[in-house]
Amino acid sequence: MSLRVGVRELRDKLAEYLEASMPIEVTRHGQTIGFYIPVPKKPSQSERDALLEAGRRMREEMEHMGITEDELVAGFKEWRKKAHAV
């Protein structure tokens, strides 16, 4: 999946598009002239540490509540079904 933008829009919003995480299809007069494919950004050490801490805290909370990972996933899937049904 890619975002499709014209040359003028790309030029006007270049800084924003360079930060994109999805490929960008560049067009001129409706014809594709190229693609910008970003390199996946490596998380910083502080971002990695924050994710690891969040995971540790989540595991502790699940143990405290007495639920398993499978139960948590099933509950999340059920919540998503209800949220998308509205």
3-state secondary structure string across the chain = CCEEEEHHHHHHCHHHHHCCCCCEEEEECCEEEEEECCCCCCCCHHHHHHHHHHHHHHHHHHHHHCCCHHHHHHHHHHHHHHHHHC
**Is the same domain home to 29 and 59?**
no
- How high is the pLDDT of residue 39? 84
Rg of the chain over all Cα atoms, to the nearest angstrom: 21
Per residue in 51-81, pLDDT (tens digit) is: 899 999 999 999 999 999 999 999 889 988 8
Q: Give me the number of domains the chain comprises.
A: 2
Residue 32, domain extent: 3-36
pTM of the prediction? 0.49
